Structures are given as structure tokens and as C-alpha cells.
Amino acid sequence: MKLAERMSRLGTETAFVVLAKAKQLEAKGKEIIHLEIGEPDFDTPRNIVESAIRALNEGWTHYGPSAGQPDLREAIAEEVSKTRGVRIEPSQVVITPGGKPVMFFAILALINEGDEVIYPNPGFPIYESVIDFIGARAVPIRLREENQFRLDVDELSSLVTPRTKMMIINSPQNPTGSVLTIEDLNAIAEISIRNNIVVLSDEIYSRIIYGVKHHSIYGIKGMPERTIILEGYSKTYAMTGWRLGYGIMPADLAEQVAKLQTNCNSCTASFSQKAGITAIKGPQDDVERMVRKFRDRRDAVVSGLNKIKNVKCLTPSGAFYVFPNVSAFGVKSAELADRILNEAGVAVLSGTSFGAFGEGYIRISYANSTANITKALDRLEIFFGKI
């Protein structure tokens, strides 16, 4: 069949491509350590699983409202009001199958062809993909290592034109683990308000943060009416396969996003939503335990990488990724990632999987056991020693 022209503009997430390559090598008997995929290696906490089983037994197996089950919308509104310090109504919450659809629906609902959207680069590849797909102009803001991979607000300001309709921010960030400061957010809010630009704030890693506080732009005066928060359960509660996320936005936009869902996926799985209430309202010890483990692994991976000659790695404050600088080896990142997989048996991603400004870097996910991380570091040391 002949594809529609727009399909040529759709990007993807290379993590899934690398995973497939790694699986092929495994099928041939090679032992691969997986540091490519962005998902917690922990199981979903038991109380959440039990809650879903109960929900299934109680018959939560039918369609529900497109915007989400009212009791979950209420629980999320209450929770996010507390964490962001602004009163949020249930009518401002849309439940989606994972956080990712919030990106797609928000861009689809708000952006016209030819509009400009500023997005972080290196950054989550789906931003650029969806902006291109709908025929808008993707304008990258470069995240620089010398600025701890936080965006530079003066540079952001210089990229704004009369056509700029949206800015996407992501903190804690994938792939660099950087966290925006309250000063950064105040400056971004000022640019947004001055130029009437919507902010899509991807806060999916808000709870996976070490020693610093997560600040949301939503809490800044003048921002709730022009901000969409993307949040979800995948990372915080190790629920990637459940497909449960949500967006917080003005109520009139929430109605439109719900209408897009009616046209697309009807609703989010009803029993997943029931379990989502338990996740929020139940004890948070498991989340805290996972974050403590991530922190220990981050420390191990950063110190191990910095011991390797010519590898330079910052200590990120959030998410579960490091983004080491490997430019000293003079090999293109994509080739380097390929060679690391084939020669060292460690699956990592090229920095360029996150945009052109990721050249010179690789992304390592430390959502794996300490034993595997230690083994991977040994293999990387041998590999880099031979280049």
C-alpha cells in the first residue's frame, strides 16, 4: 500500500530498535546487558497488582468515560494540587494510556501546520517526531553539558518568533537526568507569559529525583492557564506495561483532548485506572525504596564511568539515565553504540537517538541490577581501552 505523505515525517524511539538487535544477538547465544530501555526493572508494587485483580473480579472490564474514571480524576486532582501547590479540579484531568498520548493529543489539539514548537535537544525523540508529523516546525533548544544539560533561558528567548505556539520542557530530563531550577522555571514562565506561548511540561520523572526538589512550572503565577502537565505511573510505580498516565490542563482543553481519545482509543483500561487510585492513595514505601536503589546505582555508574580514561560523566539529579561524553574517542555516537553492543555485549543508545545535539554522547539507563551495572562497567572499561 502507498503510505500517506505524512508518514515520511514520523520518527521513532530507537530504544525499541536497539532492544530488537540485542534480542537477535541473544538468540545467537551472546550474553547482553540491557542498559538501553527506559523502564524500571522492578515489579509493580504488590498492593497495586492486588488492586487490579480485585477490580477485574469486580467487573471493571468495560468501557469507561473518555476523560477517565471520575474517582481517579478526583484522586489525581487532589494529589497534584498538593504536589504543585495549586488547586486543580477533576475536570482538568484527562486519564490516558500512558503519559505519551498527552504529548500527541496536546500537540494535535493546539498546533497548526507551520506553527513553531521549541523542544529540548537532546530530548525525548517523540517530541520532534510528533511536531514534524503534524506539519509544524520543530525548533530545537540545545541542552549543553557546560550548563549541566539545563536549557539556557537567554537562548530560549532568542528562539521565540511570532509563530512560536508551544515550548516543551522536561524535568527531570530524559536522556540527561538534568533538573531545572526554580530560577530556570521562573524565567521560562516569564517568556511564556510575555509571548503567549503554551508550555507542555513533561514531568513523568517528577518522583525520581535525588537530593533536590522537583519544581513544576504549573505552580508559578499565570502558568496554570497556559500549561499542560504530562504525568503518569510508568516510571514512579514501575507500571510501564499497564499504560496509565494523565494530563493536567485547562478544563476546556481537557474536553477537546477527551474528544480526541473518543476518536482514538475510547478510554484507558478501566481496571488499570482502579489500580491507579490504590497507587496514589496507598503507602509510598515502595516508591521510596526504588528511588533509593536508583540513587545507589547512579552513584556506582557515574563513578565507574569517570574512572574510564577519556569518558566524562556528570552526576544527574533525576530520572534513571546518565549521558556520558565520549567525544574524545573521535567515533560517531551511533557507530560507537553499535560497537558497544556487538563487541562488549552492552546495549546502550547513541546520544543522537535523542536529536542531533546528542552527538558525542551515549545514553546509559541504570534501571538494571547493581550486579549487571558492575559487569557492564567492566566490559565498557575493556572496550574503551581498546579504541
Q: Which of 14, 22, 33, 38 binds ligand PLP (CB under 6 A)?
A: 38
Q: Are 315 and 79 in contact (CB under 8 A)?
A: no
Name which of residues 49 to 68 contact ligand PLP (CB under 6 A). none
Q: CA-to-CA distance for 251 and 262, rounded, in angstroms?
A: 16
Contacting residue, 69, 92, 121, 170, with ligand PLP by CB under 6 A: 170
Amino acid at 133: F
**Measured from the CB atom, is 106 or 377 closer to ligand PLP?**
106
CA distances from 68 to 3, 72, 175, 261 (A): 33, 7, 30, 10
Q: Cα(228)–Cα(81) distance, rounded to whole angstroms? A: 14
Q: How far is the CB of 371 from ligand PLP (least distance, A)?
A: 24
Site map (CB under 6 A) of ligand PLP, residues 211-250, x = contact: ---------------------x-x-----x----x-----
Q: How far is the CB of 128 from ligand PLP (least distance, A)?
A: 12
Q: Does 98 bind ligand PLP (CB under 6 A)?
A: yes
- E-strand ranges in the chain read 33-34, 93-96, 116-121, 137-142, 164-170, 198-202, 227-232, 245-248, 321-322, 346-347, 349-350, 362-365
Among 95-103, 151-159, 325-333, 379-387, the segment contacting ligand PLP (CB under 6 A):
95-103
Alpha carbon 18 to chain centroid distance?
A: 18
What is the Cα–Cα distance from 210 to 246, expressed in whole angstroms? Answer: 23
174 binds ligand PLP (CB under 6 A): yes
Instruction: Output 90 or 245, the one with its CB closest to ligand PLP.
Output: 245
Residue number of the CB atom closest to ligand PLP: 98
Quote the CA–CA distance of 302 and 377 in Å, as a whole number: 10
DSSP letter (8 states) at residue 67: T
Query: Cβ closer to ligand PLP: 84 or 100?
Result: 100
Nearer to ligand PLP, 308 or 347 (CB): 347
- Say whether residue 272 binds ligand PLP (CB under 6 A): no
Output the smallest distance, CB 90 to ligand PLP, in A. 20
The interface mask with ligand PLP, positions 102-131, x = CB under 6 A, is: ----------------------x-------
Question: What are 168's strand-pairing partners?
Answer: 200
